[in-house]
Structure 1
Amino acid sequence: MKEIQNMRWGYPWQPLLLMAVDWLMIVGAEELAYALRQSWLPIANPQFHIPGFYLYLLVPAIFLAFLQSSNTKIRRFPTWKMAQSVFRAVFFSILTITLLMYFGKVGAVVSRLFVAMTGVFAFVFVIGARFLLREFLNRKHIMEIPVLFVGAGETAAELVTTLEAQGGCGMKIIGFVADTPIAARFKGRYRLLGHMEHLERVLHMTGVQHVIVTATSLPAAEQVHIINRIQPYVKNVIFVPDLLGAPVSNMDIDGLLDNSLMLLRFRNNLAHWYNRAIKRVFDLILSLAGLVIVIPITVVIALLIHLDNPGPIFFAHRRIGQGGREFPCYKFRTMIPDAENVLKDYLAAHPEAREEWERDFKLKHDPRITHIGAFLRKTSLDELPQVFNVIKGDMSLVGPRPIIAAEIPKYGEYFADFCLVPPGITGMWQVNGRSDTTYEERVQMDTWYVRNWSVWIDIIYLIKTVTVVLARKGAY
């Protein structure tokens, strides 16, 4: 097919484009570090000079070697995983450069401060550039790989929906070969190129080299047979098993050579005490540092609450925390006095509101909210006092939603995951639609977070929370 032939050129150039962008960012980081070290800092060293060979070739080559050996498929992986791989590459690059300085006996001439600043700037620049490059390529649908779907059931439809929401992740779906049945939301969106009996003919006709197998409606033996039929004709086969909801971000795959068996190992990160300890230290450092900003804002908001509706400034609601224990969750007061009785009367008079409350434990149009309270909730500033919950250890900066006792049955078998860690001020549900998500989706998000936690996920969610709050999306 001519369409596929025209798209083939884009794929080999992507690693070279990424390399060029990384090189520019690394050189930029060196130049900035050099300028700071020599011109702006009072401890300038007149002996400190970097030859162009080191500045533009040797040092960037060390960085590029580690960056290229890490995860370079930036269009298919989440931002937190990209940040993790870049940090690891930058760390080992700086370690290598430091060792070369030591063994080359140039430590007295080459500034260690320059090397450290280069590492920090390189990490920030490379992450920023890769993120912007990924967004640009995905939005413009540039350099996409033609992909054929084999199977058009619900698993295929779910994957396509996810790919479309993320700009395609560098894939151009040319059509599908159908198993039975075809998912209703899949029909009409892409071309039906044939059925399973036509598979080899479709592969030959299209010349496609990348195939995604999503034929989960077929028996396991038949799925293996399909993969074996495809492999002689293509470069890459991606097999998507029916494991929706499993913590696949922390999954390892092992193969037993003698028996051709595949072992899937799932890790629950926050089930390990040392990961919980790292998370606690991370929370304390950021929370204590943030008090410089939190305290002045708290004083201003307290004054506004008093002027709008005299009464208590803070409200402590009983929530379920780590281990299933209740704790007082601090918030700015956003409701009128006697709020519980007002809610009871309102639900009795409005059956549709009662149904919404019983389903989500939230109301889009809550009669108890004050004027300043509506603003605080829309901007999520009502949750600012929870920083003190974090310092106490009742909460975390990022984590599952803090729920009330009545919500425990809705978590079912996933409540054990919820109890592993303190609930968070922010989390997956806050950056993925917030109150516009269904309750079942929120439970799945909380469970995914606990099982897949990493420091990088916390950092990315904190950054995303700021953007979501500024956009005022999904909060009420």
Structure 2
Amino acid sequence: MDNQSYTTIRVNPSMMSSLSWDNLRSFFISVAFILMDYLAIVAAALTAFFIRAKLIPLLHDNLIVPDVFIYVIIPAAFMLFLHFDRKYINKLYFWQQAARLFKASLYAMLLTLVVLFFSGSVKEVSRIFTVLLWFFSFGYLAIGRYFFKKMVMNIGALQAPTILVGAGKTAELLLESFRKNGGSGYKIVGLIEDQPQKSCVAGRYPVLGTFAQAETIVQNAGVKHVLIAAPGLIREELLDLVYRLQPYVNHVTFVPDLLGVPVGSMELDTLFNEKTVLLRIKNNLSQIHNRALKLLFDCFCTIIGVALVAPLCFLIGVIIYLDSPGPVIFAHKRVGYKGKKFPCYKFRTMVNNSREVLEQYLRDNPAAREEWERDFKLKDDPRVTKIGRFLRKTSLDELPQFLNVLKGEMSLVGPRPIVDVEVERYGKYINDYYLVRPGITGIWQVSGRNDVGYSERVEMDSWYVRNWSLWLDIILLIKTVGIVLKRKGAY
């Protein structure tokens, strides 16, 4: 062994006692999770009943839902699907867990609807009540689990002691993800690394030894979880490492060398006789029913959105008209679906002679010209009006793009609409861009917007197309609201 210093964790009675206490604590937390779910479902049922029966009574009907349904049958239906999904204790991130809760709540609501109808306990099943029940149950469950999980994570519960094998760039990315997501169920107690002096994370955790010592280290440590973050290992070395560690732990998790592969919709098939697996990657947007679903979702949300923002749009239009001469809305030619050009609508945020102002400014400012050629944007753009600067900062200038969505030229979520000169900069990724309609918002907008470099922006657009799902669109729309309110990365 070279002259590296390593820390060794040895089994002792207090550690075994600690592990037993962890198991007992996990049991009580599981029970608390179930109780919290029950209270959330009952609260959702009571809320739905109150709104339907008291706030929006229809005609002269008198909606009656027996207490046994509120406190027993409805919660039982929801618990059935929540239990099957086994999400009381898990390592899912919030948005992944929310997606599972969305499906479980929907299935449970449908089961509740069937039970209510066939039981004869209610004369007529209220569609409004069942829809409200689904809406509030999903909302209360998601919010309750988020804060409850955050609370137990903050006190160190629900985190399994884990040894991290590998301390390179992949390990650094994992640890950063764990930091943002409360550890995701992992509590790193030490590292196994052959070259700790080259590691950027070795200083944060005790280095327990080398790969060759992994078996002994894990056995002495008494942990039941190992996370292998060394995708560069050759197949034989990875296989040897897994086989050596598996007898001593409950779970061995490893990061495969799949960086850049679209894994958002990946499915796994196991071939037992051949001792191998098949990883199937679906192109979701190549299926016509998914494209139709995305289009219907866009139209439905846009119609609601237009109805809500119409008064605001009128007010903005009046202010722009009074602020500076020129049209209230302008249309700029952008490249869209299948490479077709379309007029992309925005509230005017620039002076009328913007082209002349820009050319003069770039001639006088070499640094600004370099910024423009690199990003096609200027942080301090002299063409922008006073009201235009506010509209850009809040992204309100993009509200007229709802018209583009209704015309079928854009989507609510998708790649950022580009101009002709940007096509060449997309390189091999341009075909991904052509597969979908550009979006009012997208993964670029929720990841820093103008603070993100151009090459990263292109990769983000490609990742979105290859990993599309309706749930991903919903997540990005929700995140957009937060980004807009924070005014992060916009200018």
Per the TM superposition, whether the score is higher than 0.5 is: yes
Q: Secondary structure at the match of 2:103?
A: helix
Any residues of structure 2 matched to 1:89-128 within 5 Å, and which? 89-108=104-123, 113-128=128-143
Q: Which amino acid aligns with 2:119?
A: G
Give the equivalent residue in structure 1 for 2:399: 384
Matched, 1:443 2:458: yes
- My pick for the range that moved more, 323-332 or 133-142, is 133-142
Q: Is the 8 A contact 2:64 2:122 kept in 1?
A: no
Could you tell me which of 441, 453, 456 is aligned with 2:471? 456
Give the equivalent residue in structure 2 for 1:50: 66
Could you tell me which of 290, 293, 309 is aligned with 1:275? 290
Matched, 1:222 2:237: yes
- My pick for the range that moved more, 94-103 or 58-67, is 94-103
Give per-residue Cα distances to partners, 1:298-328, cap 9 Å, x unaligned: 2211221122221121221111111011111
Q: Unpaired segments of 5 or more residues in structure 1?
A: none
Partner Cα distance (2:32, 2:377) in 1: 48
Report the RMSD for the aligned CA atoms in angstroms: 2.4
How far residue 59 of structure 1 moved from its aligned partner, in angstroms, is: 2.2
Partner Cα distance (1:262, 1:180) in 2: 31
Partner Cα distance (1:241, 1:59) in 2: 42
Matched, 1:427 2:480: no
Matched, 1:172 2:184: no
Matched, 1:397 2:412: yes
Give per-residue Cα distances to partners, 1:357-379, cap 9 Å, x unaligned: 22222221112211111101000
Q: Which amino acid aligns with 2:132?
A: M
In structure 2, the CA distance between the partners of 1:374 and 1:36, relative to structure 1 (3 Å rule), is closer
Q: Which amino acid aligns with 2:370?
A: E
Q: Secondary structure at the match of 1:248?
A: coil
Partner Cα distance (2:464, 2:425) in 1: 17
How far residue 335 of structure 1 moved from its aligned partner, in angstroms, is: 1.3
Partner Cα distance (2:86, 2:344) in 1: 40
In structure 2, the CA distance between the partners of 1:405 and 1:13, relative to structure 1 (3 Å rule), is farther
- My pick for the range that moved more, 453-462 or 258-267, is 453-462
Q: Is the 8 A contact 1:245 1:444 kept in 2?
A: no
Q: Is the 8 A contact 1:359 1:439 kept in 2?
A: yes
Could you tell me which of 378, 381, 387 is aligned with 1:366? 381
Q: Secondary structure at the match of 1:458?
A: helix
Give the equivalent residue in structure 1 for 2:177: 162
How far residue 400 of structure 1 moved from its aligned partner, in angstroms, is: 0.9
Could you tell me which of 26, 30, 33 is aligned with 2:45? 30
Give the equivalent residue in structure 2 for 1:413: 428
Matched, 1:357 2:372: yes
Q: Secondary structure at the match of 1:8?
A: helix
In structure 2, the CA distance between the partners of 1:152 and 1:330, relative to structure 1 (3 Å rule), is same
Q: Which amino acid aligns with 1:415?
A: I
Give the equivalent residue in structure 2 for 1:185: 200
Could you tell me which of 78, 90, 99 is aligned with 1:63? 78
Partner Cα distance (1:302, 1:35) in 2: 41
Q: Is the 8 A contact 2:192 2:208 kept in 1?
A: yes
Give per-residue Cα distances to partners, 1:174-221, cap 9 Å, x unaligned: 121014577543231222111111112211222111111112222111
Give the equivalent residue in structure 1 for 2:164: 149
Matched, 1:307 2:322: yes
Q: Which amino acid aligns with 1:427?
A: G
How far residue 73 of structure 1 moved from its aligned partner, in angstroms, is: 6.6
How far residue 80 of structure 1 moved from its aligned partner, in angstroms, is: 4.0
Query: Could you tell me the TM-score, scaled by structure 1's length?
Result: 0.92
Partner Cα distance (1:183, 1:255) in 2: 37
Q: Which amino acid aligns with 1:50?
A: P
Partner Cα distance (1:348, 1:190) in 2: 53
Q: Is the 8 A contact 2:208 2:217 kept in 1?
A: yes
Sequence identity (%): 44
Give the equivalent residue in structure 1 for 2:300: 285
Matched, 1:88 2:98: no
- My pick for the range that moved more, 463-472 or 113-122, is 113-122
- My pick for the range that moved more, 356-365 or 41-50, is 41-50
Partner Cα distance (1:36, 1:160) in 2: 45
- My pick for the range that moved more, 369-378 or 264-273, is 264-273
Matched, 1:330 2:345: yes
Q: Which amino acid aligns with 2:304?
A: A
How far residue 155 of structure 1 moved from its aligned partner, in angstroms, is: 1.6
In structure 2, the CA distance between the partners of 1:368 and 1:225, relative to structure 1 (3 Å rule), is same
Could you tell me which of 390, 397, 400 is aligned with 1:375? 390
Partner Cα distance (1:265, 1:250) in 2: 8
How far residue 223 of structure 1 moved from its aligned partner, in angstroms, is: 0.6
How far residue 289 of structure 1 moved from its aligned partner, in angstroms, is: 2.0
Give the equivalent residue in structure 1 for 2:3: none
Partner Cα distance (1:75, 1:326) in 2: 46
Q: Which amino acid aligns with 1:467?
A: G
Q: Secondary structure at the match of 2:343?
A: strand
In structure 2, the CA distance between the partners of 1:181 and 1:36, relative to structure 1 (3 Å rule), is same
Q: Is the 8 A contact 2:34 2:88 kept in 1?
A: no
Could you tell me which of 263, 267, 280 is aligned with 2:278? 263
Q: Which amino acid aligns with 1:282?
A: F
Partner Cα distance (1:295, 1:102) in 2: 40
Q: Which amino acid aligns with 2:116?
A: M
Q: Is the 8 A contact 1:398 1:427 kept in 2?
A: yes
Give per-residue Cα distances to partners, 1:93-131, cap 9 Å, x unaligned: 222223333443434277565444322321221122223
Could you tell me which of 7, 19, 22 is aligned with 1:8? 22
Give the equivalent residue in structure 1 for 2:247: 232
In structure 2, the CA distance between the partners of 1:343 and 1:36, relative to structure 1 (3 Å rule), is closer
How far residue 13 of structure 1 moved from its aligned partner, in angstroms, is: 4.1
Query: Could you tell me the TM-score, scaled by structure 2's length?
Result: 0.90
Partner Cα distance (1:111, 1:266) in 2: 41
